[in-house]
Amino acid sequence: MKKTTLYKLYALIVAALLIGFDQLTKWLGSTSPIKLGETLSLIKIGNTEVLNLTHHHNTGASFGIFQGKTTMLVIVTLLIQIGLIAYVVIKKNLSKSALWALTLIISGGFGNMIDRVFKDGKVVDFIDFRFIQFPIFNVADICVVVGSALLIISIIIEEVNLRKAEKKLAKEQRGLSK
């Protein structure tokens, strides 16, 4: 088996594990004694709540946009996921960092899509950083955000390396033509 195929197989296994972990944490959050809308403070510094578990349902996308647009969100997510998976399968020279970034994005997308399809359009959120007034989120959201950041960094690094290689080649060609 070729090395790239093996990496893609590992990525598929990791994606399945991340989706499973996301669903497990959401199940634990939903079946815990914390009722919908209630908060359990985990870390406090003085009177400042730093990290809480808050049982919350989101019927929209990131930061609460597209509230109640479940069908649209499922269709768009599914199309994006199919496109990303096709890209990973078809792309021959996909860098490891881009592969893992896309694996995270795909995992997070599927994790939240599963909620939308099987939980009446609601995504279970529970991680609540109140000290920075950040929206409540979940493991799938972490995967999408970290994957997106890693993908941006990967693209920038690849572009910088490509430009360096082009400059080096141009310099070598100028040296040969003299």
Catalytic annotation on 22?
Answer: no
> Which candidate, 61, 104, 97, places its Cα nearest to that of 81?
104
Structure tokens at 10: 């590992």
Read off the pLDDT of each residue in 9-35 and give the average, rounded to a whole number. 94
Check 22, 115, 125, 128 and give the catalytic one: 125
Check 22, 115, 128, 141 and give the catalytic one: 141
Per-residue pLDDT tens over the stretch 126-174? 999 988 888 899 999 999 999 999 999 999 999 999 999 999 888 888 8
Catalytic annotation on 115?
Answer: no
Per-residue pLDDT tens over the stretch 80-94? 999 999 999 999 889
Predicted local confidence at residue 177, as pLDDT = 65
